[in-house]
């Protein structure tokens, strides 16, 4: 009995193999592409990595006309520039899948991960026993549980990924060729592209640029009273008539007094866990990180088992993250000890979940066994 586990990246393959083998997996293979091998309960287990999408879409018949609707899935290295490096990874996966009795998709538990593993299995392990490992963190405990409780392939999620890629291709290629054909008739030769997201985004930007170009500034005046260095704006707000503003100013006294003070207590809800978008916004506000930088930092932390999977729209933390354990570890850090001790004493381990939910991935968290 032999099992092949397919991961999305080499770093994830190492994490999975170490978790399931207790750190005793052997590195196998020749050349640049390696895989990991160990025995688990009398079963030979091999863990091999893809490098993202090893299969992609191409036009079934050559040509540059449009519209084109005849497309097919094929190995990326056969038609995509810059994908030559995927050829050796695919070769290793083909060989291992041929010898395996069961093939497990252990790519990231999202639409793209489902599709990456599904395509490898579809073309290289058809008819074999298949299963799916589902995990949101690369901690040993969760990876072991994901393997022990693996279930059927998430075919619906993979098909959703197929549909998205196919629609992107059909829309993007045909619209781009139509656009280039149109400007060519006007005597302009230029490579242009338009896509399902790119096109509407450019339309929004173009409309906004027109509004900016059409804007005509209009001067206005405001009146402020400064009391103990606190500025108070006149109730009228902005004055677009200078004479009116000057008249109000002339009628104003230089002496003022506070007639009443009102104090209100409000109960402020704790901030919700980060989804990717709010994480990127906060990282830019606090540190000036671009969204791409933040995503890369988060991806690195995920691969080091320090946070859960970063590409999520969820604002909810699941119970399986074991929040009491995480808070207990935070209490070992002097900077967090007072606050963590309060939570432990009061047994407050219920997160302030937000409204957004992603069934595949929880919000940002720190589930590592070490801080």
Our answer to whether residue 85 is catalytic in this structure is no
Rg (alpha carbons) of the chain, rounded to whole number: 29
CA nearest neighbour of 276 among 309, 301, 304, 302: 309
Of these residues, 55, 89, 309, 336, which one is catalytic? 309
- Tokens, residue 15: 């994490």
Q: How many residues does the chain have?
A: 371
Q: How many alpha carbons fall within 13 Å on the CB side of residue 187?
A: 0
Among 48, 55, 54, 53, smallest CA distance to 6 is for 48
H/E segment holding residue 99: helix 86-99
Rounded (to 5) percent helix, strand, coil in the chain: 40, 15, 45
Which pairing describes strands 43-49 and 35-40: parallel, antiparallel, or unpaired? antiparallel
Q: Is 146 helix (H, G, I), strand (E, B) or coil?
A: helix
For 258, the 3-state DSSP assignment is coil
Residue 208 main-chain phi, psi, to 5 deg = -65, -40
Catalytic residue positions, numbered: 309
């Amino acid at each position: 009995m032999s099992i092949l586990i397919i991961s999305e990246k080499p770093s994830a393959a190492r994490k999975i193999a170490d978790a399931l083998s207790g750190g005793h997996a052997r590195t196998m293979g020749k050349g640049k592409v390696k895989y990991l091998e160990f025995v688990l309960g009398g079963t030979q287990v091999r863990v091999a990595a893809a490098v993202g999408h090893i299969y992609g879409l191409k036009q079934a018949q050559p040509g540059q006309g449009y519209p084109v609707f005849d497309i097919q899935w094929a190995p990326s290295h056969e038609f995509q520039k810059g994908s030559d490096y995927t050829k050796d990874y695919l070769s290793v996966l083909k060989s291992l899948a041929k010898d395996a009795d069961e093939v497990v998709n252990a790519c990231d538990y999202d639409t793209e991960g489902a599709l990456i593993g599904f395509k490898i299995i579809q073309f290289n392990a058809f008819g074999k026993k298949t299963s799916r490992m589902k995990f949101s963190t690369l901690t040993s405990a969760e990876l072991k549980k994901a393997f022990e409780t693996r279930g059927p392939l998430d075919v619906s999620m993979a098909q959703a990924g197929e549909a998205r890629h196919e629609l992107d291709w059909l829309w993007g290629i045909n619209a781009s060729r139509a656009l280039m054909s149109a400007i060519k008739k006007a005597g302009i030769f230029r490579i242009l592209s338009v896509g399902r997201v790119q096109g509407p985004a450019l339309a929004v930007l173009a409309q906004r640029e027109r509004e900016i170009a059409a804007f005509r500034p209009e001067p206005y005046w405001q009146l402020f009273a400064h009391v103990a260095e606190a500025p108070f704006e006149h109730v009228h707000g902005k004055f677009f008539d200078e004479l009116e503003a000057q008249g109000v100013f002339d009628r104003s006294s230089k002496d003022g007094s506070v007639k009443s003070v009102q104090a209100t207590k409000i109960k402020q809800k704790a901030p919700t866990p980060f989804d990717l978008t709010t994480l990127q916004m906060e990282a830019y506000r606090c540190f000036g990180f671009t969204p791409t930088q933040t995503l890369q930092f988060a991806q690195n932390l995920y691969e080091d088992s320090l946070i859960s999977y970063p590409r999520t729209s969820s604002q909810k933390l699941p119970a399986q993250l074991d929040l009491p354990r995480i808070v207990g570890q935070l209490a070992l850090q002097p900077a967090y000890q007072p606050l963590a001790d309060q939570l432990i004493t009061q047994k407050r381990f219920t997160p302030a979940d937000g409204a957004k939910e992603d069934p595949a991935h929880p919000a940002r968290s720190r589930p590592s066994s070490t801080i």
